[in-house]
Chains A and B, each alone.
Chain A
């Protein structure tokens, strides 16, 4: 995530991977996701959560840890396997 050159190719659909959305109204910047999955969630400034909305399938466990760790349950995740979505 910190390396912009690693962003996925801009194809119409990512056929396999995770889709993440965080309700940033709900987010209170407790940063538990940043501890649980530091590769995918990071605070930019005091309160601005930046997260990767489309991590690879290999990040599944880390992102799931982050989802569960969120004190306000603001993280939503879909696991997309080989369907064309």
Chain B
């Protein structure tokens, strides 16, 4: 591909920005346009569920550093609504079209809404995905709610609960699983997370679901009715049920896409419904579903900060016509800060059949757990013990036997446990 032409990036967030920078770094000198559904320049999302809620970081302060001069055109507040691959043309929400020679799909995700739209529209019911969501939630927290109810004990739910306690607000998490984070970490580590939040005054209601939200008669949420018949009085509700991938606009494009993402090959080129790669289009970040070589080619779409950066850089080089190197194989990694503890993870825990506390002690609040599947090391999770993690990331990348490290001077004897994931 030539160094010229028009490159369009759909998605003006972390992956879109880093992808654009990678294209410029790789020598692409043509016209570059970033299309974003939100009115804002790319911002750094991790602040949104943490220090923006506590008031330590303002909305405007979350703008991401731009690391390479982009000389780009920005089409912000204008979502892409359609893709015509035959004519290499995008449709935008403002009714215009945009031709492209190469396209990076980095459209990301949006918050999964509360399933009952009327209840979801009640005043006081929030989701948290965008900078504007976080600003609205921050304002609602400052107003001094009597109780905050968080629906869903995943990472966002737990981080929001943590921020509520920092603000000394009463908060309840309702989580259908046995403990928070059980789906990702299993019950053993989820129980550590539960204890951490309970010690800070978070009320945890596990093993039950919110059946419906009720208002106070004026359109403001007042309480939640649970599946076990109980009622929780709460005038602020945060729906934290995960994310939905933004792929609807790809309908009719002939690309393989659904709510789980847009399919790519191992290099990041998108796949048509006929299974053929489109060399003019790549995808990166939350929306890109790709075969991960470390996990036997299982197709995954990862909602991780570091992955958005690494995969976008890979895709940017590819679209710029540079040799992107070997297939994308970055070890998945994420972090979360909650209750004053930093949880970090490398690899993917899904499918784990064994767990060992490889370093430290959960009772002391600092430890590293390693997950195995079929005798191989697939993931490691640290609680306030991140310095051990890179050694385990190497073992995961090497598909080392489980447990990968034995007999280290600072290790106790290893007991192999069941990670205890809840039934799907």
Residues of chain A touching chain B, judged by Cβ–Cβ distance below 8 Å, are 1, 4, 7-14, 18-21, 23-29, 44-48, 50, 52-54, 76-78, 85
Contact = CB atoms under 8 A, between A and B. Distances in A.
Contacts of B333: 25
Interface in B147-177: none
Nearest to B383: A47
Contacts of A8: 58, 60-61
Most buried by B among A8, A25, A85: A25
Given A25-B305, A78-B66, A12 B61 contact: no
Contact of A25 (B65, B135, B306): B306
Interface string B309-343: 10000000000000000000000011101001110
A65 to B, nearest CB: 17
A19 B64 contact: yes
A45 B366 CA distance: 12
A80 to B, nearest CB: 8
Contact of A13 (B47, B55, B63, B67): B63
Contacts of A77: 65
Interface of B: 39-41, 44, 46-47, 51, 54-67, 135, 305-306, 309, 333-335, 337, 340-342, 344, 366, 384-387
A76 B67 contact: yes
Contacts of A4: 54-56
A8 B56 CA distance: 10
B135 A10 contact: yes
A21 B64 CA distance: 7
A2 B41 CA distance: 26
A47 B57 contact: no
A23 B65 contact: no
Contacts of B135: 10
Nearest to B40: A12
Given A25-B306, A46-B384, A53-B47, A14 B55 contact: no
B340 A14 contact: no
Given A28-B387, A46-B342, 20 more contacts: A1-B56, A4-B55, A9-B58, A9-B60, A10-B58, A14-B61, A18-B65, A19-B66, A24-B342, A25-B306, A27-B386, A29-B386, A29-B387, A45-B337, A48-B337, A54-B57, A54-B62, A76-B65, A76-B67, A85-B41
